[in-house]
Amino acid sequence: MASLQLRRCLLCFSRPASPFSRAVHTSPRLLHLMDARDPNQEKKEKKLIVHHAKQYFDEMAQKARDKKTFIAAVSKYLDHENVYRRGHVEFVYASLEKMKEFNVHRDLETYKKILDLFPKEKLKPQSSWQAELMHYPKQQQCAIDLLEHMEENGVIPDDDMGYALINIFSQRSHVFRRYQRMMYWLPKFKHQNPYPVPRDLPNDNVELAKLALARMAVDLENEISVFQTDDLESAADKTFIVSAQSQTQRDLITSLPKGQSVTVEGGFITYLRYKSFIYFVLKAEKTKKAKDFENITGKRKDNASTFWNYFEDEQPSELAIRPSVHEQEDGTVLAMCITGTSSKDSLASWLKYLEVENPNLSNTPVVFLLKSPTEGKQNYAEEEDEEEEEVKRLEEARKTISDG
Amino acid sequence: MNRVPSLSHHLVQMTSSRHAKKCAFLAPIQSCVTPRASIGIYEKDRRSGYKSNVKKTNKEIMKEGLGLMRGEFWKLKEEWKHNLNFDKFYPVQHGDYERLWKFDNKETIDNFTVTCDSNHHEGKSQAEFFVNEQKKGVFRGFLNTDVAKDGRVKRAGYANIKSQPNMKSFFRKHPYDWTDYTHLIFRCRGDGRPYQLILHMDRYFDVSWNDTYQYALFTRGGPYWQTAKIPFSKFFLASKGRIQDKQTPIDLDQILSLGITLGDRVKGPFQLEIDYIALLFDDHHSQQFAYEMYECNPSSLY
């Protein structure tokens, strides 16, 4: 052992600080010496997780793609590379790319686990110059991209993450500045939506449909009921129907003039965060009450909209009863629904369920005005294909040029 | 991204423009800046390198320009008529409102430009803006978040409508003056997605060319119309899509145009019906700016 300690490197005449030191020469001039010591060096290099990080996640996820496997994969890398953290930047980028597949892209704990891959203390700047000139730029940019990934997915960091960032990059780093910005702005915008949606949406389709309908319904007296078409004999589609109707809407159906038809319109699209739903509306023509009201207020509106006439007395010459919220400009909304299949058959079953509480509906003719929710937007898909073909053509052309 | 203090930038611009012709060694500085990806101080043009694909010859430009003359002279005449009228000024009172645009005719819709990422080959989103049978403006399309594999674009998916800048005769920019009002009013019917309202500012120095004030227009979704009343005090300063550290309340006499953007990173069709956009004066609204203006660490560099 003593002789080992005394042995100096032939080229640079340096001596390792301690015989147990893990430091090795990595200068390209000396690499051949390492090769001479270990003939399998190249093979070992290739075995490193870094070189196949994306496949590494796929291999780890042979059983299931969930949070547990993802955390296990990251921990395994950490155990393997505990000392040198070889290629941790590349590994962080690879794991960010794979997060959505494992459905952990909205999970703060997983982001913290990934941040744990950065070595502590090592990347801190030693002077204000280093701090301003972005010490360890690749690592800092990687951490900034991690924070941006969080922001894109609506994840707000917490204090622990801030302390972790201080431990890794220090308080003066560019990463920490980004964290500070996020901590200032994101909680401000978190509750700005006047039509709030829960952060984590339920997995059950019925619960989701309930949420979507409750959000769309303006009437505070709105009631949501769930039906299963298994009970109906006439229903061909065995699915669920979630229906929204208020007492006012029931009264509107009762007061429908005899012989007037109602329409089922849809499907329209509504969103709850990243989930979209197709909904249908039971509609009737505009009521007389709404028309009268519009005639009176419409006149007034024209007066008020022109700027110079606001001194005019705005007292109306006539009186009219204010219509309910359901009496919109383009018709009266009588009920809304979301069904499991969005088929015409399921809508027919919905009407049957509605007849129980709205007996007048059984005497009313119903017209189905159904269209695809993406009507007028289908051509986009075709255009997309054309674009893809064009890209392929371009690529081929490029290849032939480079080959020739 | 930090905003560069405008004074120091001003100096940079002065030196480069004044001496560029004389000093040959200064010239290459301009050319080495890539127009789109630069984060530096210098801005080459107002559109950051996004140019229109339509190329015209000088003859065509002349022809087009002469054709526009008649209309512009008419506009000038109207302006002077208005000036010489000496309209009385009445103070705006609580509850007064002014309709900016009502989207019931094609002319108003044509005043708006529709853009999306596919226009610049940076994505695959599609969008259109038109009047429907009920005489409402419909902004709809398909938001596609697929990133083109060109190695340059990092993320994609936006669709936008933007009003033309307000112009006096002979295409002189004439920013809107909304200082009398406190709120923006939108009567709209959306699909539950959050849209972004963007007020483009008319500012002189190139660091501030991309200054916009932004706030979200949240939609309810469903068959009911909604009226969104958004105070100007909630609009925050952003530049090139990034919120800025040093915030200032919006200058309501510098507004060049208004835009509505969708870019919520959700792939799928979208639809926003708009009835009108109006301005409202609410006397009870005393808030100047919704965000803190104190400096928490005045000695820090950023």
* Together in a domain, B171 and B31: no
CA of A283, closest CA in chain B: separation in Å?
A: 10
Distance CA A198, CA B180 (A): 38
pLDDT number for residue A276: 94
Nearest-5° angle of CA A362, CA A364, CA A369? 110
For residue B188, being part of any structural domain is answered with yes
The whole-number average pLDDT for the span B206-222 is 93
Nearest to A192 among B126, B140, B216 (CB): B216
* Together in a domain, B134 and B226: yes
Nearest to A271 among B126, B148, B192 (CB): B192
* Together in a domain, B127 and B203: yes
- Structure tokens of B178? 């909304």
pLDDT above 80 for B172: yes
Interface touch B301/A189, C-beta < 8 Å: no
Is the CB of residue A354 less than 8 Å from the CB of residue A335? yes
Work out how many CB contacts closer than 8 A connect A with B: 100
* Together in a domain, B40 and B104: no
User: What's the mean per-residue pLDDT of chain B?
Assistant: 83
pLDDT above 80 for B81: yes
Is the CB of residue A314 less than 8 Å from the CB of residue A194? no
Look at A310-319, B49-58, B155-164, B231-240 and tell me which has the smallest mean pLDDT: A310-319
Q: What separation, in Å, do the N-terminal and C-terminal C-alpha atoms of chain B show? A: 10
Is the CB of residue B137 less than 8 Å from the CB of residue B131? yes
For residue B224, being part of any structural domain is answered with yes
Distance CA B235, CA A166 (A): 32
Q: Consecutive sets of 10 residues in chain A, 404 residues long: mean pLDDT of each?
A: 43 46 47 58 69 79 89 92 88 93 94 96 93 93 96 95 96 93 94 93 95 94 93 85 96 92 92 94 91 73 45 60 89 95 92 93 92 60 53 58 50
* Together in a domain, B203 and B112: yes
Distance CA A25, CA A393 (A): 49
Number of structural domains chain B divides into: 2
Residue B114, burial from CB neighbour count under 10 angstroms (0-12, 13-18, 19+): middle
Chain B residues closer than 8 Å to A376 by CB: 140
Is the CB of residue B192 less than 8 Å from the CB of residue A272? yes
Distance CA A138, CA A141 (A): 5
Percentage of residues in chain B having pLDDT higher than 70? 85
* Together in a domain, B34 and B108: no
Q: Please provide the DSSP assignment of A76-97 as one string.
A: HHHHHTTTT-TTHHHHHHHHHH
For residue B295, being part of any structural domain is answered with no
Contacts of A46 (CB under 8 A, 6+ apart): none
Q: What is the CATH number of the domain that holds B175?
A: 2.60.120.430
* Together in a domain, B122 and B17: no
pLDDT number for residue B241: 86
- A77-136 residues touching B, CB cutoff 8 A: 132
Query: Beta strands of A258-313 (E only): which ranges?
Result: 262-272, 275-284
The whole-number average pLDDT for the span B6-18 is 32
Interface touch A328/B302, C-beta < 8 Å: no
For residue B88, being part of any structural domain is answered with no
pLDDT number for residue A356: 93
For residue B75, being part of any structural domain is answered with no
For residue B77, being part of any structural domain is answered with no
- Structure tokens of A169? 């990059």
Q: Which residue of A has its CA nearest to B89?
A: A308
Using pLDDT thresholds of 50, 70 and 90, give the confidence band for residue B11. Answer: very low
* Together in a domain, B194 and B254: yes
pLDDT number for residue A302: 47
pLDDT number for residue B206: 87
pLDDT number for residue B266: 93
pLDDT number for residue B35: 37
Q: Within chain B, where are the H helices?
A: 6-19, 27-31, 58-85, 106-110
For residue B86, being part of any structural domain is answered with no
Using pLDDT thresholds of 50, 70 and 90, give the confidence band for residue B286. Answer: very high
Distance CA B222, CA A279 (A): 8
* Together in a domain, B25 and B103: no
For residue B65, being part of any structural domain is answered with no
Nearest to A377 among B99, B142, B148 (CB): B142
* Together in a domain, B151 and B274: yes
* Together in a domain, B25 and B118: no
* Structural domain that includes position B235: 97-280
Nearest-5° angle of CA A4, CA A8, CA A13? 170
pLDDT number for residue B259: 97
Distance CA A214, CA A208 (A): 10
Contacts of A341 (CB under 8 A, 6+ apart): A237, A239
What residue type is B105 in one-letter code? Answer: N
CA A26 to chain CA centroid, Å, is 44
pLDDT number for residue A387: 55
pLDDT number for residue A121: 93
Contacts of B167 (CB under 8 A, 6+ apart): B173, B174
pLDDT number for residue A300: 52
Tell whether A156 lies on the interface with B, counting CB pairs under 8 A: no
Interface touch A215/B222, C-beta < 8 Å: yes
Structure confidence by residue, pLDDT tens digits, A335-394: 999 999 999 999 999 999 999 999 999 999 999 999 887 665 444 444 445 555 655 655
- Structure tokens of B112? 């708006």
ipTM of the assembly?
A: 0.82
Contacts of B118 (CB under 8 A, 6+ apart): A387, B124, B125, B126, B144
Structure confidence by residue, pLDDT tens digits, B103-126: 999 999 999 999 999 988 889 999
Interface touch A380/B301, C-beta < 8 Å: no
pLDDT number for residue B197: 97
Q: Please provide the DSSP assignment of B124-138 as one string.
A: --EEEEEE-TTS-EE
* Together in a domain, B226 and B124: yes
Interface touch B223/A328, C-beta < 8 Å: yes
- B162-181 residues touching A, CB cutoff 8 A: none
Pick from A341, A188, A200: nearest CA to A274 = A200
Residue B103, burial from CB neighbour count under 10 angstroms (0-12, 13-18, 19+): buried
Pick from A280, A283, A259: nearest CA to A332 = A283
The whole-number average pLDDT for the span B274-292 is 93
Is the CB of residue B141 less than 8 Å from the CB of residue B187? no
Tell whether B289 lies on the interface with A, counting CB pairs under 8 A: no
Alpha-carbon distances of B159 from A171, B124, B132, B144, B271, rounded to whole Å: 38, 10, 19, 9, 11
Please count the residues of chain B: 302
